[in-house]
Structure 1
Amino acid sequence: MPTIKITKVQCSVPDEIDKDEMYLKHRGKKVWPVGNRYFRMDTGDKVLVDLLLDVESGWVEVELWDFDYLSFNDHLGTFRFNVDAPKGEYSTTMDLLEKGSTASYIMHWEVV
């Protein structure tokens, strides 16, 4: 079973005007941030994630969600990438889920 390390997430454009309250999910479970509900992100922000995940070979999906207090949380998009690549550092842009969303994020990861 391969292991990947999500090193950081970068916000190019948030979905909300007043920052996104983002968190990451893998296989239906929240995996980051640990110990907090979310991490606030705005245009140009980069956050160090430093998260190791054991994943299946082939294509992997990590979801980016926006936490909402008064309504259901929003699944903004999904990072899809192939972990059968050689060991090394990679970056993946997020595929948008919501039509009309302005959200744009990049995830930096590596096969370890």
Structure 2
Amino acid sequence: MPTLILSSIVCEIPEESDKDEIYLMLQGKKIWPQNKKYLKIDVDEILPLGLKFNIKGPGRMKLELWEYDVTSKNDHLGNFHLDFKNLDPGNYTELLMRNEAGAQKASYYLNWEIRE
């Protein structure tokens, strides 16, 4: 059975002027980081994810990237859409860019792979 591995996340442009406090959600549940509310990340930093999912066939996964805020509502930075239609083993990168009017810009890369 093929395995989808979420390898790492890279910050290109943080939402905040200092480090972003990020976490990932899948289907309404926080999946990363597992033992903390968030992890801090800054420009050009890479955080390992180490998440693995057994996949039964071709499909799509939507991951939500959030920025944790102590004094206000958390910010939804955007979604990563992972398409694994052919299940070919390999390494892939997905880009998330937040360019909404009235919102701070943010840009992240998600590195992932398919293994047999």
Take 2:63 and 2:99, find their aligned partners in 1: how far apart are those partners? 13
Q: Which runs of 5+ in 1 are unaligned?
A: none
User: How far is the alpha carbon of 1:98 from its aligned partner?
Assistant: 4.1
Take 2:99 and 2:59, find their aligned partners in 1: how far apart are those partners? 21
Residue of structure 1 equivalent to 2:60: 59
AA aligned to 1:70 is T
Q: Retained in 1: the 8 A contact 2:97–2:106? A: no
Structure 1 residues 24 and 82, CA, compared in 2 at 3 Å: closer, same or farther? same
Q: With structure 2 as the length reference, what TM-score do the two structures score?
A: 0.86
Residue of structure 1 equivalent to 2:9: 9
Take 2:58 and 2:27, find their aligned partners in 1: how far apart are those partners? 14
Alignment of 1:1-112 (within 5 A): 3-54=3-54, 57-85=58-86, 86-96=88-98, 98-99=100-101, 100-112=103-115
Take 1:40 and 1:12, find their aligned partners in 2: how far apart are those partners? 14
**1:53-84: CA deviation from partner (whole Å, max 9, x where unpaired):** 34573221111100011111111011112112
SS in 2 for 1:37: coil
AA aligned to 1:105 is Y
Take 2:97 and 2:42, find their aligned partners in 1: how far apart are those partners? 18
AA aligned to 1:77 is G
The higher radius of gyration belongs to 2
